[in-house]
Amino acid sequence: MKLKGTKIVLNSIPAGIPKKDDFRLKEFEVNEPVDGQFLAETIYLALDPYVRVTMVGRHFFSTPKEGEVPRGSTISRVIKSRNSNFNEGDLVVMESGMQSHSISDGKEVHFVKTGSAPVTTALGILGMPGFTAYSALLGPAKLKKDDLVLVSAASGAVGSMVGQIASIYNARVIGIAGGEEKCEWAMNNASLDACIDRKKDDIDQKLTELSQNGVDIFFDNTGGDIQNIVLSKHLALNSRVILSGMISQYNSNKPPSGPNLGNICKQRATIYGFVVYDFEHMRESFVKDAVDWYEKGLLNYTEDLVFGIEKTPAHFIKLMKGENFGKTIVQFMDL
Amino acid sequence: MKLKGTKIVLNSIPAGIPKKDDFRLKEFEVNEPVDGQFLAETIYLALDPYVRVTMVGRHFFSTPKEGEVPRGSTISRVIKSRNSNFNEGDLVVMESGMQSHSISDGKEVHFVKTGSAPVTTALGILGMPGFTAYSALLGPAKLKKDDLVLVSAASGAVGSMVGQIASIYNARVIGIAGGEEKCEWAMNNASLDACIDRKKDDIDQKLTELSQNGVDIFFDNTGGDIQNIVLSKHLALNSRVILSGMISQYNSNKPPSGPNLGNICKQRATIYGFVVYDFEHMRESFVKDAVDWYEKGLLNYTEDLVFGIEKTPAHFIKLMKGENFGKTIVQFMDL
């Protein structure tokens, strides 16, 4: 008799902010791995904003159809292997998506390497979000001492690592976050020198006060109005803009217009459409540096973790409404 | 008695497309050079779109006030020198602006080096426009064999060099130009593989037909609708966008909104706010290559030249209306 698994499938492609009705829970029969494959069970599922983008076909990852399983990074345990690189019991980070079991050929699968840090950090500060901050800052953004760095969604999984890494490199960091609580957390934990509350402050005016000559690096996780204001008026000469995420528009089917690019010429700025998957060559140095920083007590993080696969849709909706706080994770089973 | 010169000054800062009334001709007394300076007389004045941008303060060059002389690159002859690097009779390229005489300390002044080509090419294919095309393509755009290059304002001074240099490097080139006559000229002289007539063709549809996977390099001289269409829908994976000029908005006081940048992330593209003055380290190789290409018969160009400083305003207005054809030059005196 075949093993039974559980998965979340799309009832319909969400319009606007996803609703619970857009998802349903479904049982399925788990297949056996064939030669070269392994079977893994999901322990932790990370919920990340890019998953919403795939649902409307604006991501380079494939678009899930109705009845299919949405994507998602997971910490999984190998339970049966016919691939000589993976053994039963191995903990790996992979893209299993919103399901209890999945089969892989081992491509783009990484072993969990978190040193003395908790396993879930492999989905956060020591995983894809941390690696995104690291490879963008030290790669195209050319982070250097005394740079003025501006990061949007500064309390988020990526944003809070941007602040902390920039600070380790002795740059100054301004964050933008949504609400007093997130600003306070980011000031205390994400090494910010100042935080702008996008729900209360006039962003344009605050940036004028905080950065006379504009910012050297703008690490953008939100897009939208924040991006328009910064790109039009607050870039320093020869500044670097990292387009890492545009969560402000992930729920809309028709993206709004963007900033006029005249100021990009004037400031001789560069805008990078940044995708972490292009920076595999930096992964080894990232893991080494990040584990080292963690063990020296230099990295803070917070998690918003719930237990039970059935809680996945509600937790994802919370993330897409901006109501989450810290790295959004669903635990499917005990470690 | 002092030497009398003639200059064009701004009557008022133009609103919209400049009008003749925005300028007036004025006599002035020419000063004597002091130690370290030289005095030069203007032979040819180049009219370039960036001059319009300086008038509304959106350029990194200073903004001329009412009563002041608008900028402009010139070919000038040294007539009196107290700078040991410059001798009477030397022909130089400098930024004298719209006036018959000017004094310089020699900074950012280059000797005319055009080999067997006519002197005026120092303002076109062998000067700033050619150097812009060359340094952007071989610098940040990382031009390589078989790239698909798209260039707007393809019959212009910069655009036509983009086509020719890309073609010398065995790339494929699509141009966009305004009207049948410009398209025909660019097909025959700027080494285009195809030309889209922005006044007649549906640009989006034409680009879909001509480039299934999008363009590898977009060399943008116009901004506006063309930029919005290309950046939203016609970029290849890992493409490079050179923002070289945005002539479509130089006459407007309030720039329109721009393209949504979501597609920049999706295509992992990079946008460079390109300014030729950052690439002085490539000047020597440019002059060598470009003179060599000219002497091998590989470079075509056309000029739109009028004689007499008093014709400057009308000729500049023609350029800003897009009615010019080829490099726009005013000759002030015989060579």
pLDDT above 70 covers what percent of chain B? 100
Nearest to B27 by CA among B311, B312, B309: B309
How far off is chain B from A33, nearest CA to CA, in Å?
A: 32
Task: Choose the closest CB to B262 out of A246, A259, A263.
Answer: A246
Q: Tell me, yes or no, whether A285 lies in a domain.
A: no
What pLDDT does residue B300 have? Answer: 94
Q: Given pLDDT bands bounded at 50, 70 and 90, which one contains residue B148?
A: very high
Q: Is residue B180 part of a domain?
A: yes
Out of B59, B249, B268, name the one closest to residue A275 (CB).
B268
In the predicted structure, residue B285 carries a pLDDT above the cut 90: yes
CATH of the domain at A9: 3.90.180.10
> From B60, which residue of chain A is nearest by alpha-carbon distance?
A266
Q: Which of A91, A98, A87, A90 is nearest to A75 (CA)?
A: A91
Q: Whose CA is closest to A302, among A326, A322, A319?
A: A326
CA distance A209 to chain B (A): 21
Report yes or no: A118 at the B interface, CB cutoff 8 Å.
no
Same domain, A213 and A99: no
B262 contact A CB<8A: yes
pLDDT of residue B251: 76
% of chain A with per-residue pLDDT over 70 = 100
* Residue range of the domain that includes A174: 128-279
At A335, list the tokens: 């470690």
User: Checking DSSP bridges between strand B235-243 and strand B270-273, what pairing results, if any?
Assistant: parallel
Q: What is the pLDDT of residues B177-232, one digit of tens each?
A: 999 999 999 999 999 999 999 999 999 999 999 999 999 999 999 999 999 999 99
- B175 and B242 belong to one structural domain: yes
**Residue A322's pLDDT is what?**
84
Inform me whether the pLDDT recorded for B55 exceeds 90: no
What is the rounded average pLDDT of the residues A258-267? 94
**Per-residue 3-state assignment (H helix, E strand, C coil) for chain A:** CCCEEEEEEECCCCCCCCCHHHEEEEEEECCCCCCCCEEEEEEEEECCCHHHHHHCCCCCCCCCCCCCCCCCCEEEEEEEECCCCCCCCCEEEECCCCECEEEECCCCCEECCCCCCCHHHHHCCCCHHHHHHHHHHHCCCCCCCCCEEEEECCCCHHHHHHHHHHHHCCCEEEEEECCHHHHHHHHHHCCCCEEEECCCCCHHHHHHHHCCCCEEEEEECCCHHHHHHHHHHCEEEEEEEEECCCHHHCCCCCCCCECCCHHHHHCCCEEEECCHHHHHHHHHHHHHHHHHHHHCCCCCCCEEEEECHHHHHHHHHHHHCCCCCCEEEEECCCC
Residue B295 forms part of a structural domain: no
How much is the average pLDDT of A158-174?
Answer: 98
For residue B290, is it within any domain?
no
Residues B99 and B136 in one domain: no
Give the per-residue pLDDT at A46: 97
Looking at the complex, does the CB of residue A1 fall below 8 Å from at least one CB of chain B? no
pLDDT at B58 over 80: no
Condensed to tens digits (0 to 9), the pLDDT of residues A190-228 reads: 999 999 999 999 999 999 999 999 999 999 999 999 999
Select from B202, B212, B260 the least CA-distant residue to B235.
B212
Query: Which residues, including other chains, have CB under 8 Å from residue B6's CB and lie 6 or more apart?
Result: B25, B26, B27, B28, B99, B100, B309
Once rounded to an integer, what is the mean pLDDT over residues A256-271? 94
B109 plus B29 within the same structural domain: yes
- More confident call, B52 vs B203: B203
Contact B73, B128 (CB under 8 A): yes
Average pLDDT over chain B reads 94
Q: Do B309 and B242 share a structural domain?
A: no
User: Residue B271: which of A227, A244, A270 has the nearest Cβ?
Assistant: A270
- Judged by DSSP in three states, B7 sits in strand
Instruction: Tell me, yes or no, if A266 comes closer than 8 A to chain B by beta carbon.
Output: yes
Alpha-helical segments (H) within A241-282:
262-266
pLDDT bracket for residue B335 (50, 70, 90) = confident
The stretch B17-33 carries a mean pLDDT of 96
Q: Same structural domain for residues B170 and B238?
A: yes
Question: What mean pLDDT do residues B155-170 have?
Answer: 96
Q: Does B302 touch chain A (CB under 8 A)?
A: no
Q: Which of A131, A15, A60 has the alpha carbon at shortest distance from A273? A: A60
Q: How close is the nearest chain B Cα to the Cα of A145, in Å?
A: 22
Helix ranges restricted to H, B60-192: 128-138, 157-168, 180-189
Three-state SS at B178: coil
Q: Are A93 and A132 within one domain?
A: no
Task: Report the distance separating Cα A110 and Cα A76, nearest Å.
Answer: 10
Six token digits for residue A285: 């140095």
pLDDT, averaged across chain A: 95
Q: State whether B244 and B324 are in the same domain.
A: no
Shared-domain flag, residues A119 and A134: no
Mean pLDDT, range A24-44, rounded to an integer: 97
Specify if A203 maps to a domain: yes
Say if residue A175 is in the same domain as residue A271. Answer: yes
CB-CB neighbors (< 8 A) of A261 in chain B: 223, 227, 243, 246, 258-259, 271, 273
Q: B318 lies in a domain? A: yes
**Number of structural domains in chain B:** 2
> Tell me, what's the pLDDT at B80?
97
* pLDDT tens for each residue of B85-104: 999 999 999 999 999 999 99
Residue B248 has pLDDT above 90, yes or no: no
Task: Give residue B145's pLDDT.
Answer: 97
Q: Which residue has the higher pLDDT, B252 or B115?
A: B115
pLDDT at A1 > cutoff 80: no
Residue B62's pLDDT is 80
Contacts of B270 in chain A (CB under 8 A): 140, 270-273
Specify whether B202 is located in the same domain as B101: no
SS (H, E, C) B11-33: CCCCCCCCCHHHEEEEEEECCCC
Between β-strands A148-152 and A235-243, what pairing exists: parallel, antiparallel or unpaired?
A: unpaired
Q: Supply the pLDDT for residue A49.
A: 87
Mean pLDDT across A34-38? 97
For residue B121, report the phi and psi dihedrals to the nearest 5 degrees: -65, -15
Alpha-carbon distance B295 to nearest alpha carbon in chain A (angstroms): 33
* Band of residue A57 on the pLDDT scale cut at 50, 70, 90: confident
pLDDT, residue A172, reads 98
CATH code for position B194: 3.40.50.720
Q: B141 at the A interface (CB within 8 A)?
A: no
**A273 and B265: CB-CB below 8 Å?**
yes
Query: Is A227 in CB contact (< 8 Å) with chain B?
Result: yes
The reply to whether B292 falls in a domain is: no
More confident residue, A6 or B326: A6
CA atoms within 13 A on the CB side of A169: 22
Residue B294 counted as domain residue:
no
Q: Same domain, yes or no, for A72 and A185?
A: no
Looking at A235-239, A252-256, B24-28, which range is the least confident one? A252-256
pTM reported for the whole predicted model: 0.92
Quick one: chain B helix, strand, coil %, rounded to 5? Answer: 30, 25, 45
